[in-house]
Structure 1
């Protein structure tokens, strides 16, 4: 867990990192790139992006920053963009529906022939499904869990589609940056939303050892309380939060972290926590303390041969056909992250 000082000037060239996974994570977290003087440099120029939930709030700020960096952007959302962004395309998309997302990705491929960046950002808040609601007979009412449908399943659909198209384009590869929220690490009194965001953190951790096979990176941003139109629907809440001294972000703070992760190729399997406009990489801390948490778990220190054997078992369990050679076993964690 290391504080970062990210500014608009910190989108630059990657740097070589050697050593074990924990050292790599710490080196990445401590390194602030400063070779370019403007986010509009050619690092991202000409690339293409699909952004879900990009019509307002954090998503819109990400769209604006990507567009300002020379990225061609397609937004999928249930509502059009609150503010027009020159050159940005929009397609009405319900991210809880696989069919809508599939159409969105097909549109992007039709427009540009490839997808370089995917931002799974669409989500909705907790709907109080764990409140003790009863029907006229006094029986508990079946919860709908709409939050899970959009915030977890919808984002998982988006990641699945991103990987599908990034694996099959030439050249292979791309980057996925999900919005997971502080609730992906600390969920206080928001059980369904917290479960959804923890699920996205778990998905990133499960995929990050595997994605090197296709030159795909997967990262996350975890914003704390952020001043967005959705939050401002609650009367007087935002001014009171700012006045109280509780750390608050702007949407632009969150967008800067997301675009930073898009631009820097050494970041894979990382999460940047944004709190009061300050940035901290948190997965390095998780990696560093994993053995303290899990105790004497032999699976944390498997040999390459043992990992391969475990991969073969997983493959047979899911009845999956190997799509790569034995030298690029998709179930053997890589040393990329």
Structure 2
């Protein structure tokens, strides 16, 4: 059921003095999240490739916002943010994997050819930024939380496209499905550890500098939109609410719906009773895949 997260939610008071790392903080959802965190008294290190916008934002927000220039695709850039933040504050409490790009620079399934007339491979930069970058951030977050013994909180920015088909942006769609898949795979293991929470925010169409051209058509058709500030509230709510782990908040028209409980509760409908029983059996005996089964 949809619910509200008011701007003055008492939970937000817990953000004071939290040490936060945020990727993709220069504009849009990241900027709104950064501004709200600093307003709430958090200390935020943020990574972005947009130097001009980030430097202005850092100057506007004062000493509790520290900009690191770099790309989520560069392991050293991301590792540097964690190293420097922990050197300064001795800990990191919250990690927000927000950096992402839309599928506007390339249509992966439109044919392009090289000088010899041979079909060229797509760059897949959207896939790289949205999922490989998120995996780098997740790896660093889990490593630092574990080594420091901190009950840390990780929030990844997914999308409505984490759940819905989105014609015209298939690689973006795949990358955002990957984000929710990553958290689903981690949640049982992290719950067993009892130290780290991981959640996803899944916003519907949101008004940002990158969506401005499409927004007019979207709104003319009577479709709802979010503001970045509305999505930022969901991100911070997930980061601070200890009752949330392995969950996903869908944001549409400034209202909020948790999806993962309903998805899991309805498995016997979409998967079938026998298949659901086998899944439950596997979980009960704690059978895992990959290196953990060796």
TM more than 0.5: yes
Task: Quote how far apart the aligned CAs of 1:136 are.
Answer: 4.3
Q: Among residues 27, 45, 54, which one is paired with 2:25 in the alignment?
A: 54
Query: Which structure has more helix as a fraction of its residues?
Result: 2
1:199-257: CA deviation from partner (whole Å, max 9, x where unpaired) = 0100000111111315110011111111101112x3xx333433432110100010011
Distance 1:122 1:303 in 2: 34
* 1:231 aligned onto 2:211: yes
Aligned twin of 2:252 = 275
Is 1:133–2:109 an aligned residue pair? Answer: no
Aligned to 2:3: 4
8 Å Cα contact 1:129-1:145 kept in structure 2: yes
Asked whether 1:216 is paired with 2:218, we answer no
User: Which of the residues 133, 142, 146 maps onto 1:154?
Assistant: 133
Change (3 A) 1:208 1:187: same
Q: In the alignment, does 2:101 pair up with 1:124?
A: yes
Q: Distance in 2 between matches of 1:313 and 1:143?
A: 29
2:78 match:
101
Task: Give a deviation string over 1:173-216, Cα, whole Å, max 9, x none.
Answer: 21011110111111312111111110010000011111131511
CA contact (8 A) 1:184 1:222 kept: yes
Q: Secondary structure at the match of 2:177?
A: helix
SS in 1 for 2:15: coil
Q: Once superposed, what is the RMSD of the aligned Cα atoms? A: 1.9
1:200-215 mapped onto 2 (5 Å cutoff):
200-212=179-191, 213-215=193-195
Q: Please give the per-residue CA displacement for 1:236-279, whole angstroms capped at 9, x wherever unaligned.
A: x3334334321101000100111111121100011111111111
Equivalent of residue 85 in structure 1, options 37, 47, 61: 61
Secondary structure class of the residue paired with 1:176: strand
Q: Deviations over 1:59-97 (max 9, x none)?
A: 010111111111100000111325332220000021011
Determine the C-alpha separation between the residues in 2 that align with 1:104 and 1:11: 30
In the superposition, the TM-score normalised over structure 2's length comes to: 0.90
Give how far 1:133 is off.
2.4
Distance 1:11 1:130 in 2: 47
SS of 1:129's equivalent in the other structure is coil
Normalising by the residue count of structure 1, what TM-score does the alignment of the two structures yield?
A: 0.79
Alpha-carbon offset, residue 151 of structure 1: 0.7
- In the alignment, structure 1 residue 163 sits paired with structure 2 residue 142: yes
- Would you say 1:260 and 2:231 are equivalent positions? no
Structure 2 residue ranges without an equivalent (≥5)? none
Cα gap change, 1:179/1:303 in structure 2, threshold over 3 Å: closer, same or farther?
A: closer
Q: Give the match for residue 30 of structure 1.
A: none
CA distance in 2, matches of 1:263, 1:316: 33
Distance 1:45 1:305 in 2: 39
> 1:245 & 1:155 partners in 2: Cα distance?
33
Aligned mates of 1:71, 1:114 — CA distance in 2: 13
Partner of residue 300 from structure 1, selected from 264, 279, 282: 279
Shift of the alpha carbon at 1:312? 8.8
| Structure 1 position 174 matched with structure 2 position 152 | yes
1:283-294 → structure 2 map (5 Å cutoff):
283-294=260-271
Shift of 1:134: 2.9
Contact 1:180 1:222 in 2 (8 A): yes
Indicate conservation of the 8 Å contact 1:11/1:260, yes or no.
no
